[in-house]
Amino acid sequence: MSITYKPGKKPHPNEHRLIFKNVDRRGWNPSIKRYLKEDGYKTLKKALEMDPKDVINEVKTSGLRGRGGAGFPTGIKWGFIPPNNTKPVYLICNCDESEPGTFKDRYIVHQDPHQLIEGMVISAHAVGAHTAYIYIREEFPEAAITLEKAIQEAKDNNFLGENILGSGFDLEIYIHRGAAAYICGEETGLIESLEGKRPYPRIKPPYFPAAIGLYMAPTIVNNVESLCHVVHIMRMGGEEYVKLGTPRNSGTRILCVSGDVKEPGYFEVEVGKVTFRELLYDMCGGPKDGREFKAVIPGGSSSKILRCNESFKIGRGDDAKDMDFWDIPLDFDTLAAAGSMAGSGGVIVMDDSRRMSWVLNNITHFYAHESCGQCTPCREGSTWMKKVSDRIEDGTATPTDVDTLEQIAYQIDGKTVCAFGEASAWPVEAMIDKFRDELVGETSEDNNFKSKERIEQEKFLSSV
């Protein structure tokens, strides 16, 4: 069947659409009627006839890696539920999509909610969950309504509820809206929030809520995109799915490009099949007129920034080879080898009109605002980083402030309960590492900044 897309929304020839097949498609709507017309929920029927263990094995075979940011293999995560468990198992869909630069889940939950629901029912069947929650960010009020409507439609058609399609399997899905806190994207913070508390991430171990999660019971937390991939894995079979993409980086993933390119937007590509050159020049139309690319944040604002004129040594020992920034494929492993990460797929592009001090300042403000305040290094450090970067940005800093900023970042990194510490410190570390000269260039030895607190304190000192 031929698919037509809305004007200006046609997929680029480099794309391979699975998850986004119906996004911005002509004649598509989020109703179950439309979804059923194209074999919707057929895969569910097939999966329910299978043994849950076989479903998990199929996902393991597919090599699917979580699309939320960490890239952890989904099938392996499912396998962490203790075999002798007697408590109820919960499945949670993480739809908190809050990493700056990422906007893929938005389209799925607004335009294709039944794909997510089908993926959740299959996943719940695999892990043995009879209650599932969709934790959706507060900033998607419309999607919460769309999803609740879709859930009701699925119930009316017996794809949800009791004895689904006569298989004897029961499942209820509920919507739980967050309240605009970034930290709820961290899975144990999300669980605390779902329990009605402040979303302070939990102490590890246990490293995975699959051991102890929601209400102290085994819980699987998966990203929206990951759960949608489950539908396609079961439809195609793990063996077939793994052929997409590159070894250890199978399947497709959605790249979200924003910032200084001619045509920003979403692109679903086979993992590792597209390089930065292809993505930014061919698919996004290159830099704006008269501008040149300067730097790229490859996987959401917490991933380390890369300079466009850098080259990297990728691989180990004799296999190591030099690679230009532009030749790097956007997969999990190569980006990690280049010192950054694929993260959530949010590619933020900056051209030569951007001052790095301004970019840095914008990012430190975000993390200072979003730190939950549980761990001291992060709570205090993120605010200090904001204050120091304020000075660098407005030109009142001294060159040693750049060193101070770097020191603060390294004192947060690795010293907190959750990965927010790294998320706030990495961009600062990388920005200073790659653009130190530019940042120092905006400072001056002659500056003598004094904070309000210090001026107050000095009033009480007789000699300074």
Partner 1 sequence: MSSNTEVPEVPADRSAEDATQSAPPTDGTNTPLPRPSDSAAVEDPPPALSVLEENIHSAETPGEKFFPSFAVTEGLEEKANERIAQYPDDQKRSAVLPLLHEVQHRFGYISPESIDWVAGKLDIEPIKVVEVVTFYPGFRQKAPGKLHIRVCRTLSCAMGGSYELMDKLCEIAQIDRSASDPHKDPIAISPCGNYSVEFAECLASCGTAPVCLVNDDFHEGVTCDKAEELLNSYQNA
Is residue 458 a contact residue for partner 1 (CB under 8 A)? yes
Instruction: Please count the CA atoms within 13 angstroms of the CA of 378 that sit on its side-chain side.
Output: 26
Give me the least distance between CB of 138 and partner 1, in Å please.
4
> Which of 35, 41, 103, 420 lies at the binding interface for partner 1 (CB under 8 A)?
103
Give me the least distance between CB of 175 and partner 1, in Å please.
8
Q: What values do phi and psi take at 180, rounded to 5?
A: 65, 35
> Which of 40, 68, 189, 199 lies at the binding interface for partner 1 (CB under 8 A)?
199
Q: Cα–Cα distance between 218 and 125 in angstroms, integer?
A: 14
**Contact track, partner 1, 126-145, x by CB under 8 A:** -----x-----xxxxxx---
Contacts with 417 (C-beta within 8 Å, 6 or more apart), sequence order: 200, 201, 202, 203, 204, 374, 375
Closest to partner 1 by CB, 28 vs 103, is: 103
Give me the least distance between CB of 313 and partner 1, in Å please.
29
Please give the DSSP secondary-structure letter assigned to residue 5. B
> Which of 92, 231, 256, 392 lies at the binding interface for partner 1 (CB under 8 A)?
256
Give me the least distance between CB of 177 and partner 1, in Å please.
6
Contact range with partner 1 by CB under 8 A, out of 35-43, 122-130, 252-260, 388-396: 252-260
Give me the least distance between CB of 34 and partner 1, in Å please.
22
Containing 91, the helix (H) or strand (E) segment is strand 89-95
Give me the least distance between CB of 375 and partner 1, in Å please.
15
* Positions in 338-397 near partner 1 (CB under 8 A): 346, 348, 350, 354, 359, 362-363, 365-366, 369-370, 372
**Contact track, partner 1, 25-44, x by CB under 8 A:** --------------------
- The alpha carbon of 86 is separated from its chain's Cα centroid by a whole number of angstroms, namely 32
Q: Cα–Cα distance between 386 and 437 in angstroms, integer?
A: 20
Q: Cα–Cα distance between 65 and 249 in angstroms, integer?
A: 7
> Which of 176, 248, 307, 379 lies at the binding interface for partner 1 (CB under 8 A)?
176
Q: Cα–Cα distance between 179 and 189 in angstroms, integer?
A: 13
Q: Where are the beta strands (DSSP E) in 264-361?
A: 265-270, 293-297, 306-307, 311-314, 321-324, 346-351
**Contact track, partner 1, 75-94, x by CB under 8 A:** --------------------
* 197, 179 contact by CB (below 8 A): no
Q: Cα–Cα distance between 64 and 74 in angstroms, integer?
A: 6
Q: How many residues bind partner 1 (CB under 8 A)?
A: 62
Containing 234, the helix (H) or strand (E) segment is helix 224-236
**Token pair for 456:** 């107050």
Closest to partner 1 by CB, 54 vs 458, is: 458
Footprint of partner 1 (CB under 8 A): 97-103, 105-106, 131, 137-142, 174, 176-182, 193-199, 215, 256-260, 264-266, 297, 301, 346, 348, 350, 354, 359, 362-363, 365-366, 369-370, 372, 448, 456, 458-462, 464
